[in-house]
Amino acid sequence: MDGNRTARQPAVPDEGGEFDPKQAARILQEATSQAQRSFDLKRPLIWVMGGAATFLAYGALWFSVRDQHPYKGPSLAVITGVYVVVVIAIALSAKMLQRATKGVSGPSRALMAGEGAAVVVAYIATAVIQGALHYAGASHAIVYGVFPAAGPLVIVGCTVAGSAGSRQDWQMFGGALAVVSVGIAALFVSASASWAVVGIGLFAISLVGAIAKAWVQHRKLVLT
């Protein structure tokens, strides 16, 4: 009985049979830091995988419209596949955010909820604008090409940049501006080429982000 109870007890040093809160707090902090470091080391790989998935998705969109004359838009099958990739990417991002913000509460939690709501509204606004363009009689090249390729990057990217700037998160701010720049570049090419520009641009951003995060983690390991 005593052996089993001892095996379940945490490895907290026992001085004279008394519980030491300082030692327990230090052990908890060390365990949390180790888990955070292990998670952070995986982030560059997650960035690369996300960038590769985005590149393949937009590459499929470009491939489905590259020979269209006149332009009609991506096929339904390709759009369905892209939405599947987007849903998976959102799910993974939500999981990462949940792990990264574990234990965060109060005003910080409310701020993150507000920022998330702003991003969702920005996405909805993009869809509404696309519908308005179709209702106004805009060409298929605009409604089903240039705008859906570039619009979300510009509108949502500006929303994220505003949130990051208000929190002085300059890394996120720079990444969001890079995404906006890709969207602006996609506005000045043909409808079919806009998908390729976005895919290549987002993949490049993900690679740069992965390299930057890997370098930061390497520096942390060297300093410690």
pLDDT tens per residue across span 121-153: 888 999 899 999 999 999 999 999 999 999 999
Q: Which amino acid is at 108?
A: S
pLDDT at 45: 77
Helix-strand-coil percent breakdown of the chain, rounded to 5?
A: 80, 0, 15
- Distance, CA of 191 to CA of 141 (rounded, Å): 5
Boundaries of every domain in the chain: 44-99+118-223
- Return the closest-CA partner of residue 47 out of 215, 220, 223: 215
Give the type of residue at 211.
Answer: I
Report the C-alpha gap between 100 and 112 in whole angstroms. 12
What is the pTM for the complete model shown? 0.72
Q: How far apart are CA 28 and CA 150, in angstroms?
A: 46
pLDDT per residue over 150-185, tens digit each? 999 999 899 989 888 888 888 889 989 999 999 999
Rounded (10°) CA dihedral 129, 130, 131, 133: 90
Q: 176-223: per-residue pLDDT in tens?
A: 999 999 999 999 999 999 999 999 999 999 898 888 877 877 676 666
Tokens 């240039």, residue located: 146
Q: Does residue 41 surpass a pLDDT of 80?
A: no
Contact between residue 40 and residue 58 where contact means Cβ atoms under 8 Å apart: no
